[in-house]
Amino acid sequence: MKYKGYFIDLDGTIYAGKKRIPAAKRFVERLQSQNIPFMFVTNNSTKLPRDVVADLRDNHDIHVNESNVYTSGMATADYIKEQTEPDEHPSVYIVGEMGLYQVLLQAGLEISNDHPDYVVVGLDSDLTYEKIVEAVLNIRDGSTFIGTNPDTNIPKERGMLPGAGSVVKFVEHATQIEPIMIGKPKARIIESALNKIGLEKKDVVMVGDNYNTDILAGINAGIDTLLVYSGLSTREEVAKEKIKPTHEIDSLDEWQE
């Protein structure tokens, strides 16, 4: 099974929190030496590609380009662009951080809290009640509700902190409206990434440590999947799943491109 392109998760797959995964560095270097295109497909909307590149370089000695990074924020911008005529400039109200603001501004969206076309909700470490109020009132008034990603939690040293999905649920509960969700395990982020990498579904594999996000995203999008047991999911858990990953390995060192 030779693939022409790779979509790769970050935390649990390429690094383990602050800890390095040496097999992952070797895997990335093998892809680079064979000129196989790859993109890190991450649900994290708070970071810009340059932040991800810098973190990989400074903390993990992994050297990639910004074009190797695809965040749920970028997928959100691409999704809105797909819904928009070339001469339209939709407006958006954002609950999120600079990473999300920047990608949506770069996509030509105007920021507004007065009847915006879209309300985009992601992780926001400066979340306030007032931001939620603006989001809720605008969605109730007809703005299209988009969630960057459904992650309930983010694993950190302190424990399982609330993730973007928890913020989205807050707004969903108060509006009784279900959002359009972009990130893994939804197929949308994979479909947008396929557009970006310019390959067909049969030629790409989604690599990740989490059955419920990475692998399901690949399954939902109809691409092959590779589960590496270096992070969250265990063989015992995955054995109970009806739909198995296409490939399962314990370390990326086992994988031959």
Residue 100 DSSP SS3: helix
Name the closest residue to Mg ion (Cβ).
12
Measured from the CB atom, the residue of 97 and 209 that comes closer to Mg ion is 209
Residue 224 CB, shortest distance to Mg ion, in Å, is 18
Give the containing element (helix H, strand E) for 113: none
Q: Are strands 15-16 and 19-20 parallel, antiparallel or unpaired?
A: antiparallel
Whole-number minimum distance, CB 247 to Mg ion, in Å? 16
Nearer to Mg ion, 90 or 122 (CB): 122
Task: Name which of 180, 70, 174, 63 is nearest 121 in CA terms.
Answer: 180
What contacts 24+ positions apart, CB below 8 Å, involve 56-63? Answer: 56/14, 56/15, 59/15, 59/18, 59/20, 60/14, 60/15, 60/20, 60/24, 60/25, 61/20, 61/25, 62/14, 62/24, 62/25, 62/28
Annotated catalytic residue: which of 11, 151, 214, 224?
A: 11
11 included as an active-site residue: yes
State the DSSP code for 11. B
* Residue 13 C-beta: closest distance to Mg ion, Å: 5
Residue placing its CB nearer to Mg ion in the complex, 79 or 211? 211
Q: How far is the CB of 11 from Mg ion (least distance, A)?
A: 5
Tell me whether residue 108 or residue 162 sits nearer to Mg ion (CB atom): 162
Contact residues for Mg ion (CB under 5 A)?
9, 11-12, 209-210
Are 134 and 107 in contact, with CB atoms under 8 Å apart?
Answer: no
**Catalytic sites, residue numbers:** 9, 11
